[in-house]
Chain A
Amino acid sequence: MSAALAAASVADEYRVVIDGAALFDRSDVGRLRLRGEDALDLLERLSTNALTELAVGEGISTVLTSNKGRIIDLLFVLREPDSLLVLTGPQTRAKVADWIEFYTIVEDVVIDDVTDETTMLSIAGASAAALLDRVVSPGAGDTSLYRSAPVTVGDADATVMRTDFTGAPAYDIVLSASSAGSLRERLIEGGATPVGAEALEAVRIERGVPVSGKELGEAYNPLEAGLKGIVSFTKGCYVGQEVVARLDTYDKVQKHLVGITWDSDALPGPDARVVLDGKQVGVVTSAVRSPRLNSSIGLGYVRKAQAAPGTILTLELEDGEVQASVAALPFVPSP
């Protein structure tokens, strides 16, 4: 396929994500099942957000941090009747499981990595709710944001979560891997359009959503990554709390996750440098051609002094330098 055809294909898929019913396979997201009466309390003590009031059927994002306040991973924790379903980043499930296991000393907590035995299919777009009601279970499309509903797919139990990860209505379905093939077929027969990773990546970057391995990792803390909204400053101690609280209180955050735009179709390579007067002031962590904005956009970290929207910097591409501009996130607000 030519580059122009590929771009047109991504643009078509992108429109489905917003206006239609797009079907993604998001099985690369890690899925851990935590059982035991201390599971929620342990996560409360290991991560940034206040979790103890989480109701059954409710989910919340939280950041697992090191004792230096650095990001181990961004988690989504769903409380189910007898366990917690913890979604990790792609490729980080083993690290997260080992991290929680290390801090499980006297607590009643058992961790099962259920990633391989389950599949995570996602339906997103304006028609997603109606499709879910029709194909999966009547009423499933009425699930509120960050809530879940138990459903039955074939003979197997499954969970529908509404996470709106695309900015538009979006639902994740976690079900046994053996049931996933038939559900996928039924969703497509019902009108869903399979969409590839490239369109999903465009949506993610437009919305300024950080992901493990790119914007999130031990090189950064939650305040630098724009995750202050899921840091509780009142709940008390968690691992790294003292460092995170000090950074916030004394305004010591050194760099910020920002949007970056440049006037070229070329995309930068991994960790491309952002410079000012010949000195590096930042790095681009993700980049894409935005179907919505019809321009090149990226996410990256720049020093605090250069983080204001509109700041003019220089981006190093593989074939030369180009003028770049800092942009506020998200690039595209939720519809």
Chain B
Amino acid sequence: MHVREFAEQAGKPGANLRVGVKGGGCSGLTYVLDLVEEFGEEDKVIEQHGLKLGIPRKSYVFLAGTTLEYSGGLNGKGFVFNNPNAKTTCGCGTSFGV
């Protein structure tokens, strides 16, 4: 639901969420969220709750088993990653180490 809201707010109604990992961030690796009209050939696509999620294949090894939740708590709204591969996480929650 929240993904569709964001897509509309971003002027990309119908866009899909792409979740990846890049090097850097306090703990070594950082989550990357993008709204994309189409997935790339290298993306692994997962469909759940009527929503398509793309993951670049090189990122998948770091994200396998991860659940993505939306939090509207006091610390601010946003997506929260629960990543079983993360041995360490940093305070801001967007960086992790394996």
Interface check A45, CB cutoff 8 A: yes
CB contact list, A224-283 vs B, under 8 A: 237-243
Knowing A105-B58, A106-B56, A106-B58 touch, does A42 contact B26 (C-beta < 8 A)? Answer: no
Interface string of B60-84 (1 = CB under 8 A from A): 0010000000000000000000000
The answer to whether the Cβ of B25 comes within 8 Å of any Cβ in the partner chain is yes
Contact B22 A105, beta carbon cutoff 8 Å? yes
**Per-residue interface assignment for chain B, residues 13 to 28, with 1 indicating a CB less than 8 Å from any chain A CB and 0 otherwise:** 0000000111111111
Interface 1/0 per residue, A312-329 and B, CB below 8 Å: 000000000000000000
Partner of A103, one of B24, B88, B90: B24
In the complex, the answer to whether A67 meets B28 with C-beta atoms within 8 Å is yes
Min CB distance, B33 to chain A, in Å? Answer: 13
Q: How far is the CA of A103 from the CA of B96 in the complex (A)?
A: 12
Name the A residues within 8 Å of B97 (CB-CB): 67
Residues of A within 8 A of B32 (CB): 106
Closest to B42 in A: A106
User: In chain A, residues 94-109, which have Cβ atoms closer than 8 Å to a Cβ of chain B?
Assistant: 102-107
- Interface status of A160 (Cβ within 8 A of chain B): no
B25 touches A106 (CB 8 A): no
Knowing A105-B59, A106-B56, A242-B90, say if A45 contacts B26 (CB, 8 Å): no
Is there contact, CB below 8 Å, between B27 and A45?
no
Tell me, rounded to whole Å, the shortest Cβ–Cβ distance linking B85 to chain A: 13
Q: Give Cα A67–Cα B25 distance, bound, in whole angstroms.
A: 9
Interface residues of B, count at CB 8 A: 22
The answer to whether B26 touches A240, judged by C-beta atoms less than 8 angstroms apart, is yes
Find residues 56-115 in chain A having any chain B CB closer than 8 Å to their own CB. Answer: 67, 102-107
Chain A nearest CB: distance from B6 CB in Å?
A: 21
Q: Are B91 and A103 in contact (CB under 8 A)?
A: no
Task: Point out the residues of chain B lying under 8 angstroms from A104, CB to CB.
Answer: 23
**Closest residue of A by beta carbon distance from B24:** A45
Asked whether, in the complex, the Cβ of A239 is within 8 Å of the Cβ of B22, the reply is no
Q: How far does the Cβ of A90 sit from chain B's closest Cβ, in whole Å? A: 25
Contacts of A243 in B (CB 8 A): 26
- Complex Cα–Cα for A37 and B95 (A): 22
- How many whole Å from B53's CB to the nearest CB in chain A? 16
Question: Counting CB contacts under 8 A, is A46 at the interface?
Answer: yes
> Out of A44, A237, A240, A242, which one reaches B30, CB within 8 Å?
A237
Return B2 CB to nearest CB of chain A, in Å: 24
Q: Which residues of A contact B90 (CB under 8 A)?
A: 237, 242
Q: Which of B1-46 contact A (CB under 8 A)?
A: 20-30, 32
- The smallest beta-carbon distance between B9 and chain A, in angstroms, is 25
Give chain B residues whose Cβ lies under 8 Å from the Cβ of A102.
23
Residues from chain A with Cβ under 8 Å of B62 in the complex: 105
Q: If the complex has contacts A105-B58, A106-B58, are A239 and B26 also in contact, measured as CB distance less than 8 A?
A: yes
Residues of chain A lying within 8 A (CB to CB) of residue B30: 45, 237
Cβ contacts under 8 Å, A45 to chain B: 22-25, 30
Q: Chain B residues in contact with chain A, CB under 8 A? A: 20-30, 32, 56, 58-59, 62, 88, 90-92, 95, 97
8 pairs, CB–CB < 8 Å, chain A vs chain B = A42-B23, A45-B30, A67-B26, A103-B24, A105-B56, A106-B56, A239-B27, A242-B91
